């Protein structure tokens, strides 16, 4: 009988924890929803303008506010999804270590990617007129920031090669999870680069100078966030890779992982929020976009 009572008490405790966790999640989601749906503050608009060296006018203000509202909504949704995923896994299987940080940051960045796809662009006028001037990455962010994501992917490959060498020499016993993290890192880098190119190359209508400046500023800020957040997420996968090495002396590697985790987050944040004024290579070449008439 006593055994049965202990089991019943254990089951009641588990049910209580699950109910409490569910209530906590609902409250958290409600708070996040209210925060994401609120108006964009003047301080956020001023911070965006300051980082981009942009003059906000009555004409381009709404465009900037729509961008900021869209990115905030999807980033909040992403970070909540990442947090709930990490918390659920932790509740079910126990401490998940650095994977929890990756889930949290990955959720935020997934929201940022969706925001870049959903963000409202400048509208064309009645006559569709587009600038034919090629847009170069150097106009919107530093060269080092543009190459951060491919460099992070290259580092993931180098770490995998080093793990293979260590396994052959018998100085480490890496497990298969390292291959999974490599594939996740490469897939993330490829996705980020594709979206970066989409942001860079999307058609840019010919509009008054203040609206055009706002469009350039939005592109620049998007590319900064993708460069900083994308490279950080890939490097977090590299940190997770290092956790699958299992060397004979794990002490130095754990120190590298701890320091690397902090540095990755600092660099990602610094690149994402860096100030940058758009630089154009020359005057805008605008031509109407017309359809070629088909055979009659």
- In this prediction, residue 125 has a pLDDT band, given cuts at 50, 70 and 90, of very low
**Cβ-contact 288, 129 below 8 angstroms:** yes
Rounded to whole angstroms, the Cα distance separating 194 from 109 reads 15
Lowest mean pLDDT among 61-75, 119-133, 135-149, 231-245: 119-133
Given this model, what pLDDT does residue 279 score?
72
- The residues that bridge with 205 in the sheet, in sequence order, are 130
Model pLDDT, residue 1: 41
Q: Residue 45 is encoded by which pair of tokens? A: 């608009």
- Residue 142 confidence (pLDDT): 94
Q: Is 223 exposed, middle or buried (0-12, 13-18, 19+ CB in 10 A)?
A: buried
Residue 17 reports pLDDT greater than 60: no
pTM confidence score: 0.79
Q: What is the pLDDT of residues 176-198, one digit of tens each?
A: 888 999 999 999 999 999 999 98
pLDDT band at 277 (very low <50, low <70, confident <90, very high): confident
Segment 54-81 shows an average pLDDT of 87
As a whole number, mean pLDDT of residues 234-256 equals 88
Specify the pLDDT at position 115.
84
Q: Domain segments of the chain: what residues?
A: 39-123+130-279
pLDDT of 64 higher than 70: yes
Return the number of other C-beta atoms located less than 10 Å from residue 19's C-beta. 10
| Residue 282, H or E segment | none
> pLDDT of 205-233, one tens digit each?
777 888 889 989 999 999 999 999 999 99
271 phi/psi in degrees, rounded to 5: -70, -40
Work out the percent of the chain whose per-residue pLDDT is above 90.
31
Locus of tokens 């401490």 = 95
Least confident of 18-27, 207-216, 272-281: 18-27
* Average pLDDT score, the chain: 79
Least confident of 16-25, 41-50, 211-220, 238-247: 16-25
């Amino acid at each position: 009988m006593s055994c049965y009572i202990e089991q019943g008490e254990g089951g009641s405790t588990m049910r209580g924890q699950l109910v409490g966790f569910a209530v906590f999640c609902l409250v958290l989601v409600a708070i996040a929803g209210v925060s994401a749906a609120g108006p964009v503050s003047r301080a956020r608009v001023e911070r965006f303008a300051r980082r981009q060296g942009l003059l906000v006018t009555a004409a381009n203000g709404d465009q900037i506010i729509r961008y900021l509202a869209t990115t905030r909504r999807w980033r909040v949704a992403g970070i909540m999804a990442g947090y709930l995923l990490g918390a659920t896994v932790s509740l079910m299987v126990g401490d998940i270590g650095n994977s929890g940080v990756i889930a949290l940051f990955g959720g935020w960045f997934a929201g940022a990617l969706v925001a870049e796809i959903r963000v409202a662009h400048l509208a064309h006028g009645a006559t569709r007129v587009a600038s034919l001037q090629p847009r170069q990455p150097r106009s919107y962010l530093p060269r080092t920031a543009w190459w951060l994501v491919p460099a992070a992917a290259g580092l993931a490959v180098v770490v995998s090669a080093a793990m293979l060498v260590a396994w052959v020499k018998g100085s480490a016993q890496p497990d298969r999870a390292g291959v999974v993290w490599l594939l996740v890192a490469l897939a993330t880098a490829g996705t980020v680069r594709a979206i970066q190119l989409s942001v860079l190359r999307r058609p840019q209508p010919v509009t008054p100078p203040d609206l055009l400046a706002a469009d350039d500023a939005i592109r620049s800020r998007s590319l900064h966030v993708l460069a900083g957040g994308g490279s950080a997420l890939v490097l977090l996968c590299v940190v997770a890779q290092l956790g699958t090495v299992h060397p004979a002396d794990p002490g130095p590697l754990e120190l590298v992982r701890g320091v690397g985790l902090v540095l990755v987050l600092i660099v990602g944040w610094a690149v994402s929020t860096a100030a940058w004024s758009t630089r154009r290579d020359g005057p805008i070449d605008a031509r109407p976009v017309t359809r070629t008439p088909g055979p009659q």
